[in-house]
Amino acid sequence: MRNIIEDQLTKDEKEKAKMLVTQLEAIFMDKLSALTERERQDYKAINEKNKLFVNKVWDYRQHSSVLSSPDVDWKEFEKDYNARVFTESLLGRIESLAYRLESTKILHDYDNYQDALNDYSYSQYSKGAGKPGFTEKVAELKQFFARTKSAPKTDETEE
Q: How many CB atoms lie within 10 A of CB 141?
A: 14
Q: Using CB atoms within 10 A of its CB, is residue 137 exposed (0-12), middle (13-18) or buried (19+)?
A: middle
pTM score, whole prediction: 0.76
Each residue's pLDDT tens digit, 96-105: 999 999 999 9
Each residue's pLDDT tens digit, 18-67: 999 999 999 999 999 999 999 999 998 899 999 999 999 999 999 999 99
CB 6 within 8 A of CB 108: no
Residue 138 has what pLDDT?
A: 96
Distance CA 109, CA 101 (A): 12
Percentage of the residues of the chain whose pLDDT score is greater than 90 = 84
Distance CA 135, CA 138 (A): 5
Residue 159 has pLDDT above 50, yes or no: no
